[in-house]
Amino acid sequence: MRILLINNGSIYIDKLRNILKEYEVEEKKLSSSISFENFDCVILSGGSIDLTSSHPKEIEVIKKCKIPIFGICLGFQMICKLFGSKLERMEKRRKGFVEINVKDSLFGIKKMKVYKNHIVCVKGVPEEFEILGFSDDGIEIAKHKRKEIWGVQFHPEMGGDGIKVLKYFLSESLHSKN
């Protein structure tokens, strides 16, 4: 499996690279000229851009992507903003392991312990998305109903149960290719 890893400046990128070491990974920065050809899926890393007041033109390229996409934290926010979601700046940063509710038994558990580090949250997704996980902060896991577009507000690369979501996505992406 060939994965395009879009590095949005995540401080956890080394941990993400380590999780993906069994795959063929090419790492790039997001740009308006990026090509998704010759890849099986795209992972959008976290980072520190505040999308509540801006909409970088580079994220428009995500709309053109025809392969499975998985967004982590900022990557999730980018996906949600592109599809019309509302993002809100929180009163204080959420950092550390927390428990979130899982709406679907897709992952075999009703609650997940995940690592969060963000100050912006997703407050709503368009109707073409299904909410799979949530907390008091907002939406934690969402999936497009017809396309292979997934996103998580937390950092699965930091351990806990969140890694199950990323591994599920990778498994589904590999399965859909065959």
- From first to last of the 178 residues of the chain, give the pLDDT tens digit: 999 999 999 999 999 999 999 999 999 998 888 889 999 999 999 998 888 888 888 888 888 899 999 999 999 999 999 998 889 999 999 999 999 999 866 777 889 999 999 999 988 888 899 999 999 888 999 999 999 999 999 999 999 999 989 999 998 877 666 5
- Given the residues 80, 140, 144, 157, select the one marked as catalytic: 157
Catalytic residue among 41, 80, 121, 155: 155
pLDDT at 176 (0 to 100) = 66
Active-site residue, from 73, 118, 140, 144: 73
10: tokens are 């995540």
Tell me the pTM.
Answer: 0.94
118 is catalytic: no
Domain span holding position 88: 2-177
Domain total of the chain: 1
pLDDT of residue 52: 84
Our separate counts of H helices and E strands in the chain read 3, 9
Q: What DSSP designation does 73 have?
A: T
Read off φ and ψ for residue 167, nearest 5 degrees.
-65, -40
Active site residue 155: yes
Residue 49, token pair as written in the block = 């851009």
pLDDT at residue 177 in the model:
60
Distance CA 37, CA 58 (A): 17
Say whether 41 is catalytic.
no
Can you give the CATH number for the domain in which 81 is found? 3.40.50.880
pLDDT of 141? 94
Among candidates 142, 110, 102, which has minimal Cα distance to 123?
A: 142
